[in-house]
Amino acid sequence: MIATLEAIYVFAMGACFGSFLNVCIDRWPEGLSVVKPRSRCPKCGHQIKATENIPIVSWLLLRGRCSGCRERISIQYPIVELLVGLLWLAAFLQFGMLFTAFRVAVFATVLLGISITDAKHFLIPDGFTVFGLFFVLLTSFVALYLGQSEPFAGPWDAFIGMCVGAGAISIVGWLGEVWLKRPAMGFGDVTLMAVVGAAVGPTRALLTIFIAAILAPIVLLGVVYPLSARGLADDKGQTELALEASGGWRKRELPFGVFLAPAALIALLCGDAIIAWYLRFSGL
Ligand SMILES: [Zn+2]
């Protein structure tokens, strides 16, 4: 367990990373730099002052509006800051003030960024995946030196996992394309699975795809389609038409990264237990 002061510090650190994650989510899909220029209000051009840039707190003090023109500031900002703060806190509560907690926290932050960007823009920016890949691979050597590899894969398994993850998702995408007779998956999913495979190793990389394949239809059929259909079906009462018109996720490539990202975190934290349970259950 960690002390209260450490917990507050870790949460605040996470919230700051969440603030930076917001910038990445907004700018990378547009091909913009995340370093400069400083953030401005998209409507009036008011430059966000340092005091207006405190994670969560500033949004609450400004009551979600720009101090220049009173334009609404998206609730995405404080929510992501809060989520990342909580992710970091959870990681350090689970693993203690150790290098492993830092790795889990950063990895989970990158996965959250990928999930949101893929859901909003149907793409996975290289900024996330290139950083993620180098972070996971380089820290695997540090972790090995510190004797803290678990629950991540060691350097050798990380390398094999990277290749297996990218290869396996490519095969899934290829067969999906043959079956659906249209592009089924973007290349971003391949880059994401390279990162995931490097983090969790080959076996749990395959498990990640399996978990995502279970998550995706449950979330799509259980949450996304009913929600998007309801608004339209109220007018015409034609559910089929509404589903067709809900567009977005239906007509385009499935943003599979939205599901691969949380699946990867599950595989990292509980993958070994799930595989052990499955082997016992199936008698293999
Ligand atoms: Zn403004």
Are 190 and 211 part of one and the same domain?
yes
- Domain boundary at 76, 97, 118, which? 97
pLDDT at 36: 83
Task: Give yes or no: residues 143 and 279 share one domain.
Answer: yes
Q: Are 53 and 66 in contact (CB under 8 A)?
A: no
Same domain, 120 and 60: no
Are 123 and 260 part of one and the same domain?
Answer: yes
Find out whether 111 and 135 touch, Cβ atoms under 8 Å: no
DSSP three-state, residue 128: helix
Q: Are 245 and 127 in the same domain?
A: yes
How large is the C-alpha radius of gyration of the chain?
Answer: 20
Long-range interactions of 240-249: CB distance < 8 A, separation 24+? 249/220, 249/224
Structure tokens that stand for 196 in this block: 């995931």
How many Å lie between the centroid of ligand 1 and the Cα of residue 216? 38
Q: What are phi and psi of 121, to 5 degrees?
A: -120, 0
149 and 11 co-located in one domain: no
pLDDT at 124: 95
Residue 121, domain extent: 98-284
For the question of whether the overall pTM of this predicted structure is more than 0.75, the answer is yes
Report the 10 Å Cβ neighbour count for 135: 17
pLDDT tens, the chain, 284 aa long = 578 999 999 999 999 999 999 999 999 999 999 988 888 888 888 888 888 889 999 999 999 999 889 999 999 999 999 999 999 999 999 999 899 999 999 999 999 999 999 999 999 999 999 999 999 999 999 999 999 999 999 999 999 999 999 999 999 999 988 988 887 788 999 999 999 999 999 999 999 999 999 998 888 888 777 777 665 555 444 444 444 445 555 556 678 999 999 999 999 999 999 999 999 988 77
Measured in angstroms, how far is the CA atom of residue 27 from the centroid of ligand 1?
Answer: 18
Q: Tokens 């979600």, residue? A: 64
Q: How far is the CA of 37 from the centre of ligand 1 (A)?
A: 16
Number of domains the chain is built from: 2
Distance 173 CA to ligand 1 centre (A): 43
Q: Is 32 helix (H, G, I), strand (E, B) or coil?
A: coil
- Could you tell me the distance, in angstroms and rounded to a whole number, from the CA of residue 49 to the centre of ligand 1? 12
Cα(63) to centroid(ligand 1), Å: 13
Q: Are the C-beta atoms of 102 and 89 separated by less than 8 Å?
A: no
Peptide bond just before 155 cis, omega within 30 deg: no
Identify whether residues 217 and 77 lie together within a single domain.
Answer: no
Separation of CA 64 and ligand 1 centre (Å): 11
